[in-house]
Structure 1
Amino acid sequence: MSVPDQATSGARGRPMDARVDDAIIAATTALLAERGYGALTTAAIARRAGVSTASLYRRWSSKEDLVASACRTIVADYLSPDDTGSLDGDLTVLVRNKITALSGLLGVVLKSLVGQAAHDPAIAAILEREILDVTTAHVAAILERATARGEIGAGYDVSGTADLAIALVTTPLLLRADGPSAVARLVPERIAGQLIAALLRP
């Protein structure tokens, strides 16, 4: 689990304990899944993590900052920097990791946050910055490698490809009654094929 940027050192320059950072993010994620954003409080997070609220606020200044870190964790769980050597391989790994992440607890969290984002601009901005923008940058790197290998030509639509990759996995999560279970039934190779077909379409 990645440590948020603001959690690297204390007010007097002492290193923060990464185990505390991880415990707080894990508690935030668990409580989001159990109760949703509306019932999430920093006091409840601190209790679940077994730390003081002062310790929490030394690392994150607000509940929104904590949620941003939780979203960063969601993305970190399905973005792999590995180069498989092919466009199909890279996209399959991306989709497989995304399915693995969103078919469990993190899928419940994301579903809750998307619902909150419908009427909360701050949460909407967090989802755009921490999930959409980061995923788009990762897809751009995959497509740049594919172009260098001669698998696709220039002029591809990075944003459109990223949007499609996200939609093909999150639509079952958000619109199917069984959400994460519906995601688990997806076949990554099939989705990767759909993405490549869209990229190669004249």
Structure 2
Amino acid sequence: MSITVPRGRPMEVRVDDAVLTATTALLAEQGYGSLTTSAIARRAGVSTASLYRRWSSKEELVASAARTIVADYLTPEDTGSLPGDLGLLIGQKVTALSGDLGTVLKTLVGQAAHDPAIAEILEREILDTTTAHIAAILDRAAARGELESGYNAQQAADLTIALVTTPLLLRADGPAAVARLVPDHIVAQVLAVLPR
């Protein structure tokens, strides 16, 4: 059995949090094209050397920030019912994307059209993780007898993500458009495609 040892110095939570907060804030304010590691270090109050001991590139920083966003706002809790679980998850997504994090995601999606590394980060850290959370919700519902066999977790995940991100990406007021979404309406649309 091999053990993976993190490179560099041991992580300091305070420094990591400050750097990831700075990365997210600068992405929201300036976009990806203007994001520099020196600006992140300055905003976080750390040296660039300290930053590079933890992340070797701007892309790694963005991936960590995306991972943190998902961890903070997409916690697949068990409410005891399928509508409750979906409502909680969708409510968390709406809350996350109706502020600066929505601006960050919109910025990164735009960058992903020309940058395969960013496209991969979005797929891995946002799309795949959200899909896994929705699959876990559906599996719990099936175990409780709320779903018939043959449900398609990928289809449900794609629909859920589309219903929240389409207003973000295609409306001029992006995050504000997400804030107007009603999670219960989205839950109803997702439930309509599931065998119950």
- Give TM-score scaled by structure 1 length: 0.91
Question: What do the CA deviations read for 1:63-116 (whole angstroms, capped 9, x no partner)?
Answer: 000000111122123212310000000000000000000000100000000000
Contact kept, 8 Å, 1:24 with 1:56, in 2: the verdict is yes
For the residue of structure 1 that corresponds to 2:145, the secondary structure is coil
For the residue of structure 2 that corresponds to 1:200, the secondary structure is coil
More off after superposition, 150-159 vs 60-69: 150-159
Shift of 1:10: 6.7
Work out the CA distance in 1 between the residues paired with 2:6 and 2:142: 41
For the residue of structure 1 that corresponds to 2:193, the secondary structure is helix
Q: What are the ranges of 5 or more consecutive residues in structure 2 without an aligned counterpart?
A: none
Shift of 1:119: 1.0
Runs of 4+ in 1 over 4 A off after TM superposition: none
Q: Is 1:135 matched with 2:130?
A: yes
Q: Which residue of 2 is the match for residue 19 of structure 1?
A: 14
Work out the CA distance in 2 between the residues paired with 1:140 and 1:198: 14
Q: What are the ranges of 5 or more consecutive residues in structure 1 without an aligned counterpart?
A: 1-5
Work out the CA distance in 2 between the residues paired with 1:195 and 1:170: 14
For the residue of structure 2 that corresponds to 1:77, the secondary structure is helix
Contact kept, 8 Å, 1:10 with 1:16, in 2: the verdict is no
Contact kept, 8 Å, 1:117 with 1:123, in 2: the verdict is yes
Q: Which residue of 2 is the match for residue 159 of structure 1?
A: 154
Work out the CA distance in 1 between the residues paired with 2:6 and 2:49: 14
Work out the CA distance in 2 between the residues paired with 1:9 and 1:137: 25
Contact kept, 8 Å, 1:33 with 1:105, in 2: the verdict is yes
Identity %: 74
Work out the CA distance in 1 between the residues paired with 2:12 and 2:138: 38
For the residue of structure 2 that corresponds to 1:141, the secondary structure is helix
Number of residue-to-residue matches in the alignment: 193
When the two chains are superposed, the root-mean-square deviation of aligned CA atoms in Å is 1.6
Paired letter, 1:48? R
Contact kept, 8 Å, 2:102 with 2:175, in 1: the verdict is yes
